[in-house]
């Protein structure tokens, strides 16, 4: 039996530490059976394999439990919070449960950092929510000790084999809401570089198209790259001091585009909130996240960098 949960009527964000698939299925199934008992709508976003394991364990999928494959929902980690936001908004006023596992061993180093940032931002995004319990599984057999340690810092609660307790290492919502300034790796010296400003976006778009085609992107993905970089560069001209620097290179079959300017961002959830139809702004980084496989935003006192990753379409 799981020990009594710490009392909270707000957002309860738990890191579920498990060792291997058997412990995952046992802990997640227990969580789901409790959701069924209390008639709480529940969204489960994990790998397709784990969805199959849970369905077999439960035998019959309860009507209020919905499954989604994290490989599609959260390929770009910045798209996970919007999915949870849609779920919460669709069940306003109800107690809710969720299971979300954005981190697995095969994530790239860049994806891992963004997933960890996402896990921290969940506390900011749902700080005002009531009655929403979200459990985030971490496989201690497959993940490094540093990843598990970071989970303890970003989750107020820790679930183990038979207990749920508060995390002594949790850093708090106020600290997590600050600008994300973890340094990015430096662009290679071989990267294509362009200083841009007012009147030079046409040339910028041509360079992005050329480099996208050289990287093996098809025309659709090349157009995505051009649109995304143009949007970020336009924001640099409007809000980042009138211009910036574009750098483009390839890495492991991925086109990477950096836009750096003198501006500063202090909105932790930038690009993660769906813009209202009547909003006059706020669509730029939202759209960029829809187009790219990964978007990394870093803001320092000296300026801001937006790094966009685009891979060729599979199949």
- For 245-297, write each residue's pLDDT tens digit: 999 999 989 999 999 999 998 889 999 999 877 655 668 999 999 999 999 99
Phi, psi values for residue 135, rounded to 5°: -105, 125
In which element (H, E) is residue 268 found? none
Please give the span between the terminal C-alpha atoms of the chain, in angstroms, as a whole number. 46
The residues with which 62 forms a beta bridge, in sequence order, are none
Rounded Cα–Cα distance for residues 184 and 233 (Å): 19
> Do the Cβ atoms of 151 and 136 come closer than 8 Å?
yes
Domains in the chain, please, with CATH?
11-176 (3.40.50.300), 192-310 (3.30.565.10)
Phi, psi values for residue 222, rounded to 5°: -65, -40
SS3 string, 86-129, reads: HHHHHCCCCCEEEEECCCCCCCCHHHHHHHHHHHHHHHHHCCCC
Rounded Cα–Cα distance for residues 134 and 15 (Å): 9
Q: How many CB atoms lie within 10 A of CB 145?
A: 8
Rounded Cα–Cα distance for residues 308 and 230 (Å): 12
pLDDT at residue 162 in the model: 67
CA 187 remoteness from chain centre: 23
Residue ranges of the chain with per-residue pLDDT less than 50? 1-7
In which element (H, E) is residue 138 found? strand 132-139
pLDDT at residue 36 in the model: 92
pLDDT at residue 4 in the model: 41
DSSP 79: G
pLDDT at residue 65 in the model: 94
DSSP 161: S
The model carries a pTM of: 0.93
Rounded Cα–Cα distance for residues 198 and 259 (Å): 15
């Amino acid at each position: 039996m799981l020990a009594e949960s710490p009392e909270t009527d707000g957002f309860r964000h738990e890191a579920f530490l498990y060792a291997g698939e058997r412990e995952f299925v046992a802990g997640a199934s227990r969580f789901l059976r409790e959701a069924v008992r209390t008639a709480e709508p529940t969204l489960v976003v994990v790998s397709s394999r784990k969805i199959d394991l849970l369905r077999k364990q439960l035998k019959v999928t309860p009507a209020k439990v919905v499954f989604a494959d994290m490989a599609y929902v959260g390929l770009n980690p910045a798209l996970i919070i919007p999915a949870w936001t849609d779920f919460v908004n669709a069940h306003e006023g109800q107690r809710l449960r969720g299971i979300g596992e954005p981190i697995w061993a095969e994530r790239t180093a860049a994806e891992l950092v963004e997933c960890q940032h996402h896990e921290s931002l969940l506390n900011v995004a749902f700080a005002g929510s009531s009655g929403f319990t979200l459990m985030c599984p971490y496989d201690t057999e497959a993940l490094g000790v540093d990843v598990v340690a970071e989970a303890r810092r970003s989750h107020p609660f820790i679930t183990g084999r038979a207990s749920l307790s508060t995390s002594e290492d949790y850093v708090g919502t106020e600290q997590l809401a600050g600008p994300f300034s973890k340094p990015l790796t430096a662009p290679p010296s071989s990267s294509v570089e362009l200083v841009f400003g007012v009147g030079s976006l046409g040339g910028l778009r041509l360079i992005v198209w050329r480099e996208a085609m050289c990287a093996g992107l098809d025309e659709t993905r090349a157009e995505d790259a051009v649109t995304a970089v143009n949007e970020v560069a336009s924001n640099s001209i409007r809000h980042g001091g009138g211009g910036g620097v574009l750098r483009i290179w390839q890495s492991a079959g991925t086109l990477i585009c950096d836009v750096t300017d003198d501006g500063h961002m202090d909105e932790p959830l930038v690009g993660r909130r769906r813009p209202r139809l009547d909003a006059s702004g706020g669509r730029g980084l939202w759209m960029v996240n829809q187009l790219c496989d990964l978007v990394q935003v870093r803001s320092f006192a000296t300026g801001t960098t937006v790094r966009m990753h685009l891979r060729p379409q599979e199949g």
